[in-house]
Amino acid sequence: MPRNIRVEKLTQTPIEKQEIEIVERKGVGHPDSMADGFAEAVSRALCNEYIKKCGTVLHHNTDQVEVVAGRSCPEYRGGELISPMYVLLVGRATKEFMDSKIPTDTTAVKAAKQYLKTTLPDIDSEHDIIIDCKLGVGSTDLQSVFRRGKAPMANDTSFGVGFAPFSETEKIVYNTERQMVLNFKKDMPAIGTDIKVMGMRKNDKITLTVACAMIGKYIDDASHYFSIKKELSDKICDLAMKYTEREVEVYVNTGDDEESGCVYLTVTGTSAEMGDDGSVGRGNRCNGLITPNRPMSMEATSGKNPINHVGKLYNLLSNRMANEIADEVPGIQDVHIRILSQIGHPIDQPLIASAQVIPEAGANMSVIKSESEAIIDQWLTDITKVTEMIAKGELDTF
């Protein structure tokens, strides 16, 4: 059956030539990202448990995680939590299959604790945080859609959005947070995982405003704190220059007041220890960024089942399509992908799969059109590969 694929020329100023560009990334220790991370870790663990016990992934959605802030008393060379953070794992899961009971709640709690250990090592899982689980049972009619037919049927009428390639500013914002956590932190343990990077490009000048929760036990005093800030700012500036020849300025923890001694000091490296709550879907889109200059979906991706939840599949799929088109099809400056489903219809037969292309001057639109259509069609044919990649943890969702 032919698919409804449309490729059109988009008359719009390419992102790199727009006067103002704004890009944001919330790091893995931001309370909203914590909620996303727990939700996706639980979904992935349930997928593996269902496959082990039942031979297939059963209906579930774990995309309602809430992170409730604790209370802390941070200090240089120490500090302590007064009240622990609280995480509530909420959603729906299949708990019985052919008279066999499935340990969904214990699987969920175990997965959340493992995620905490591997991703947020500055949080003591025994004392700093409480993980609670209240998974309900899925809606009967949605479970019916989940099982019906040979191909997975869309569980909702919804859309996914993707774009490519990343602009220089987008690359800088994404990689600043990633490098701070994965590399800078090795030599600068005072860097927490709660990082927010806000990038603003005005013509050819990029300004990065970075909020980074600092961990008090690794900092001797105020003088040491501000020296770490300066070193971090220099490292970020050096990193940014790998992605651009534009002018870059970096500001770290602009809310600090050196005169009064009010600084961004924490015990665990996250603002969730004191005052900041988190929810799934309030942070990064599935490409890892928040991009008001680009098309975006409001759909939360983390925690949704990877079989037929189009709010997850189509957002991840559209970004894969966009990146391959940008990489493989010549003559494209920017490409935007939109995929729309209808509930109860096969996920590989969307109501529309739309590509909007901003071509380079003199580019052959007929070639762009035919090659882009072929890439979109192939990804839809192989849509179950996306499900496999999600279940294996090969695709990031925030």
Residue 140's pLDDT is 45
Q: What is the predicted pLDDT for the residue at 139? A: 55
Provide the 10 A C-beta neighbour count for residue 293. 16
% of residues, the chain, pLDDT over 90: 90
121 pLDDT band (50/70/90 cuts)?
very high
pLDDT digits (tens, 9 = 90+) for 210-259: 999 999 999 999 999 999 999 999 999 999 999 999 999 999 999 999 88
Q: Report the chain's mean pLDDT, rounded to a whole number.
A: 95
* Torsion sign (Cα): 224, 229, 230, 234: positive
Above 80 in pLDDT, residue 142? no
pTM of the full structure: 0.94
Identify the structural domains of the chain with CATH numbers, from first to last: 5-14+157-165+282-391 (3.30.300.280), 31-139 (3.30.300.10), 168-275 (3.30.300.340)
Band of pLDDT at residue 346, cut at 50, 70 and 90: very high
